[in-house]
Chain A
Amino acid sequence: MELALRVFLLVLLLDAPLFWFQRVPLQIACGLALLWPGLARDARTWAVITVLAAWPLVWNWPFSDNHDYLRALAALAVTLALTTAEPAAALRSSARLLVGGTFFFATLWKVAISPDWLDGTFFRVTLLADPRFHDLAVLVGGATWDTLDAFDAALTGFLSGTGSWPGAFVEPPGLAPLALGLTAFTAAIEAGITLAFLWPRLARFRNALLITFGATTFAFATVRGFGFLLMTLGLAQCEDDERRTRIAYVATLFLIEAYRAVPWSRMLIDALGLS
């Protein structure tokens, strides 16, 4: 539990809320708790951290991202765990349910509620319209920068009402198979994580699935705050004897940071002469 608390404090320091008046108090509280380990084990410290993580959700409503909610909920889970007689066991239970719940709703949205996800339309559009996925579209989907620029200009014009949609937009032939592959992979791994974290009979697959998710998804979807939190919750729910698994979670957390910090996909595109 000590390691999980320290990593969570570090994550809160590195990925705090956007506005300075929300970020700085949280960073000060986390920094103090990192410097004085006694504070990190005190429920009162975590109660303060929970408030500092939660009030931006009200102040910024409705603009907070989903991982902002998960950050506050994870801090609440630590606070309450530290008030029990068995804090490590309580935190393990909370962390498992938080991960399971997060992926349950993420899967529910994708496969049951969303009108444009299962048929691959979401990823076909996202690969063309979301700059975070452009490198993947070029590397694997056969898109060119000209195609991406053309789609972006046409969509911007359409949305602003200043232009009409060009009737003959030609989608790169490799894009639809890539989108379907991403759809299938995402559905399988997110549903798998849901089951592994919520159904004890599949518990042995928990760590492998969550670490695989962290090591693959965040290579392109660089939402590092969400990745950090998932790896921290994964770490927090490890049993005492799972030392290697804990190391793997921490390593994956740093890998997620490396994905964001190092322009590896652009370097690969350049090396392959695709630019």
Chain B
Amino acid sequence: MAWLPPLGRRRALVAPAVLLALALAQIGGFAAFGLSPWKGGGFGMFATNDHGGLRRVRVVELAEGGERPVAVPEELERLRRHAREVPRAANLRRLGEALRAREPGRGALRIEVWRTEFAPADLAPSLVRVASAELR
């Protein structure tokens, strides 16, 4: 392979190989659990409107009378942002558990992450669910 460095300089391939591994893992994360395309080292920035600023984390309490929205307090902002960028079920539950630890009286919770999609015709936005998890 003419474009590969000669044997004595194969160490030059290590950093590009790490880049390749990170970028493939990032694409895998996006496909598997909705990892934000803009994060994770996969170079998906400026490729889509699906980024943290246009994602929404919604928590609802599943009460007998119906669903009630639950506000996420400022102290849990880092957990909320983490769930928004990496909406794995474990991260969503961690946010729910932190909310319940603050307010033990809370019933079952559902934590959802939504992204914003814009209609090509008139740019009207709509929310599309990326992930959700329930905490009984």
Instruction: List chain A positions with a Cβ less than 8 A from chain B.
Output: 57, 62-66, 69-70, 73-74, 76-77, 80-81, 83-86, 89-91, 93-94, 97-98, 100-103, 105-106, 108-110, 113-117, 119-122, 124-126, 128-129, 155, 158-159, 161, 165, 167, 169, 171, 186, 198-200, 221, 223
CB-defined contacts of B82 to chain A, threshold 8 Å: 62
- B15 close to chain A: CB less than 8 A: yes
Residue total for B at the interface (Cβ-Cβ under 8 A): 51
Tell me if B123 and A101 are in contact (CB < 8 A). Answer: no
Tell me if A62 and B36 are in contact (CB < 8 A). Answer: yes
How far is the CB of A200 from the nearest CB of chain B, in Å?
5
Closest to B4 in A: A93
CB-defined contacts of A101 to chain B, threshold 8 Å: 16, 19-20, 23
CA distance A165 to B117 in the complex (A): 13
Tell me if A102 and B19 are in contact (CB < 8 A). Answer: yes
Tell me if A62 and B39 are in contact (CB < 8 A). Answer: yes
How far is the CB of A202 from the nearest CB of chain B, in Å?
11
Q: Contacting A171 at CB < 8 Å: which of B13, B30, B54, B122? A: B122
Instruction: List chain B positions with a Cβ less than 8 A from chain A.
Output: 2-3, 5, 8-9, 11-16, 18-20, 22-23, 27, 30, 35-50, 53-54, 56, 58, 69, 81-82, 85-86, 116-118, 120, 122-125
**Sample of 5 more A-B contacts, CB < 8 Å, known A66-B45, A85-B8:** A94-B15, A114-B37, A128-B123, A167-B124, A200-B3
The 10 A-B pairs at the shortest CB distance, nearest first, are namely A97-B16, A69-B41, A77-B15, A109-B47, A93-B12, A109-B44, A114-B48, A105-B43, A93-B5, A90-B12
Closest to B9 in A: A90
CA distance A65 to B44 in the complex (A): 10
Q: Contacting B5 at CB < 8 Å: which of A89, A126, A198? A: A89
Q: Contacting B15 at CB < 8 Å: which of A80, A117, A171? A: A80
Q: Quick one: given A114-B48, A116-B118, are A158 and B40 in contact (CB under 8 Å)?
A: no
CB-defined contacts of A114 to chain B, threshold 8 Å: 37, 44, 47-48, 50
Tell me if A115 and B48 are in contact (CB < 8 A). Answer: yes
CA distance A98 to B22 in the complex (A): 12
CA distance A192 to B53 in the complex (A): 30
Q: Contacting A86 at CB < 8 Å: which of B8, B15, B43, B122? A: B8
Max chain B CB contacts within 10 Å: which of A65, A105, A126, A159?
A105
CB-defined contacts of A119 to chain B, threshold 8 Å: 120
Closest to B58 in A: A161
Tell me if B19 and A73 are in contact (CB < 8 A). Answer: yes
A sample of 12 cross-chain residue pairs with beta-carbon separation below 8 angstroms, ordered by A number, consists of A80-B11, A90-B9, A94-B15, A97-B16, A106-B44, A109-B47, A109-B48, A114-B47, A114-B50, A122-B49, A129-B54, A167-B124
CB-defined contacts of A57 to chain B, threshold 8 Å: 41
